[in-house]
Amino acid sequence: MAREFSTVGVVGLGTMGAGIVEVFARNGIDVVAVEISAPALERGRATLKGSTDRAVAKGKLAEADRDALHERVHFAVGLDALHSVDLVIEAVPEHLDLKQRIFAELDRVCRPETILATNTSSLSVTEISVATSRPNQVIGIHFFNPAPVMRLVEVVRTVVTAPEVVADVEALCARLGKVDVTINDRAGFIANALLFGYLNHAVAMFESHYATREDIDAAMKLGCGLPMGPLALMDLIGLDTAYEILDTMYRRGGRDRRHAPVPLLKQMVTAGLLGRKSGRGFYTYERPGAPVVVPDEATPPATDAALADGARAIAKVGVVGSGTMATGIIEVFAKAGYEVVSVTRGMEKSAKVCEAVKTSLNKGVVRGKLAEADRDAALGRISWSATLDHLADVDLVVEAVVEELSVKKALFASLDEICKPGVVLATTTSSLPVIDVAMATQRPADVVGLHFFNPAPVMPLVEVVRTIRTSPEATATARAVCAALGKTGVVCGDRSGFIVNALLFPYLNDAVKMLEASYSTADDIDHAMKLGCGYPMGPFELLDVVGLDVSLAIQRELYLELREPGFAPAPLLEHLVTAGYLGRKTRRGFRDHSHR
Ligand SMILES: NC(=O)c1ccc[n+]([C@@H]2O[C@H](COP(=O)([O-])OP(=O)(O)OC[C@H]3O[C@@H](n4cnc5c(N)ncnc54)[C@H](O)[C@@H]3O)[C@@H](O)[C@H]2O)c1
């Protein structure tokens, strides 16, 4: 029989604690909610009220249920109020000495059978437990932010946590409607171990002016389908908390440089820019605690203003190549009203591309997304050619040929001879340095990267890559073109992986390393990222879709360019590729897809 939890205590009513109180009270459990001072207690009470009022306004909670929920919560200053609860969850700031002091005090105040739990993200639950006389009744219960919304709970057992305590807490999670993964006590557990290197890397990109905050966030939302961008997520977590988590992970997790907090974080914390909770972090919020972002001095002007910024007029576009990307890009431009010249290496290839574009447009018609007349007009705007000379009068060329530097350089040298002056020359490369391609021409100022995502007609993101030679006009033109295509163009520097791949693949590689170390299973890791962070797919699902060979190649490029030891490809990834387990395309990758 699982233990009955009728009253629980929550210590600390900040970002996490207030949400945890709500989770318990919503599920019919009485809560004693304690804080360090009367003002902090009032803040916590106001957070709970704000959250439940919003739930009522959205129709997710009945007014009567909200009132009953509030009646279940008893607020108090100081730990003494916790003398008769069945379980305590501590959610105070991420400092080991503070948590140890609180646990020693809880040990004194609470009944001997009470379970003591910490919501720590990165500290050692074991080290916290030894501050008590009952380490076998101490456990980690790691909720995700916002606690009422995110379904995952990481249950962290130490080497001394009693098995029945683990079982009781797992049963409690089920009662709360949560999905739990039970794991050992390691820095960052599953989700944060995979998340924080990525978040810190995104902050480093921002700090080095590699891209703007809006572009970094848009890239990850639109390129990977994440619920929010990394900098907006840092603001939600709280920069002080994020700093402490990174610092602890750096020290506990083998001094991986990727966890050494980026200096900007410390500066922001010192300056009181803590994120949403203080009203200002990477973004500015309506007021402290509010989720609504308001414009500030760093907010970029609307895209229309880019036109005023020297963007050139583009009417006719050349697309070179006959693969998946070229086909999608031809469709995108033609649908958006541009005249398109498609150039392939032979009329046979042109016929195939033409067929593929037609098929794709027809699908749009069948699905009711495209009128027949618009399909015909789009097709009528495309001319098919097998010679580059037909690009003499276009305003923009998008190159999407094979991913080989020598081939691309030769092509750009030819374009340089054929195209009229002022043309913007764009490469869709996803891994080669754009500057190498640019320097094959006499006009590197006019060369940009336009990194479309696959499938181009569907994916809303384009990375606009400017090299150190790209002119502001060429960048502005590329950005304006993206907007005219109905896509979001994010501008970034010319570094391996641009924004999306540079942030995504090291995280996937880390997941493989975690699996390789037998810390958790592929299923639990996938669960953790989907239910704890709201990712549309877990890392192993995504690796199998992308292809393990493709992922390994990208990871190698990143490692070779940035020489970051933490980016070294996971040996397990290399072995799977060598064994021919490449993912869905070979019916086996991390999972067996032969029966699906
Ligand atoms: N922020 C997140 O996204 C997130 C997610 C999961 C877990 N966590 C973890 O949850 C814990 C709390 O983080 P947070 O972001 O909610 O911090 P926070 O700074 O928002 O809130 C901490 C609260 O603890 C209170 N407090 C401080 N000392 C206290 C004491 N002696 N007694 C009672 N209350 C005290 C503070 O007044 C404050 O309200 C940390 O261990 C953190 O790692 C945070």
Q: Give the per-residue pLDDT at 351.
A: 97
Q: Which ligand 1 atom sits nearest the alpha carbon of residue 34? A: 33
Rounded Cα distance between 312 and 479, Å, is 11
Q: How far apart are CA 14 and CA 46, in angstroms?
A: 11
> How far does residue 156's CA lie from ligand 1's centre (Å)?
18
192 is catalytic: yes
Q: Which member of 154, 214, 331, 399 is catalytic? A: 154
142 catalytically annotated: yes
Active site residue 121: yes
Residue in 460, 17, 385 with CA at minimum distance from that of residue 218: 460
From 116, 121, 144, the mutation candidate for ligand 1 (largest count of ligand atoms within 8 A of CB) is: 121
CA distance linking residue 202 with residue 11, whole number of Å? 32
| The predicted structure's pLDDT at residue 431 | 86
Active-site hit among 51, 124, 129, 192: 192
The confidence score (pLDDT) of residue 307 equals: 56
Residue 9 phi, psi dihedral angles, 5° rounding: -110, 145
Instruction: Give the model's pLDDT for residue 326.
Output: 97
pLDDT in tens, the chain (596 residues): 778 899 999 999 999 999 999 999 999 999 999 999 999 999 999 999 999 999 999 999 999 999 999 999 999 999 999 999 999 999 999 999 999 999 999 999 999 999 999 999 999 999 999 999 999 999 999 999 999 999 999 999 999 999 999 999 999 999 999 999 999 999 999 999 999 999 999 999 999 999 999 999 999 999 999 999 999 999 999 999 999 999 999 998 789 999 999 999 999 999 999 999 999 999 999 999 888 999 999 998 775 665 557 899 999 999 999 999 999 999 999 999 999 999 999 999 999 999 999 999 999 999 999 999 999 999 999 999 999 999 999 999 999 999 999 999 999 999 999 999 999 999 999 889 999 999 999 999 999 999 999 899 999 999 999 999 999 999 999 999 999 999 999 999 999 999 999 999 999 999 999 999 999 999 999 999 999 999 999 999 999 999 999 999 999 999 999 999 999 999 999 999 999 999 999 999 999 999 76
Which residue type is seen at 267? Q
Structure tokens at 513: 């390393």
pLDDT at position 300 is 87
Cα separation, 454 vs 457, in Å, equals 8
Query: Catalytic residue at 154?
Result: yes
Out of 142, 259, 451, 527, pick the active-site residue: 142
Q: Which of 241, 243, 269, 278 to mutate to test the pocket of ligand 1 (most atoms within 8 A of CB)?
A: 241
Distance, C-alpha 577 to centroid of its chain: 25
Supply the pLDDT for residue 77.
Answer: 98
Q: Annotate 110-152 with DSSP letters as a single string.
A: S-TT-EEEE--SSS-HHHHHTTSS-GGGEEEEEE-SSTTT--E
Predicted pLDDT at 308: 58
pLDDT at position 253 is 79
**Distance set, CA 13 to CA 5, 22, 35, 45, 426 (Å):** 20, 11, 6, 8, 52
Peptide bond into 146 cis (omega under 30): yes
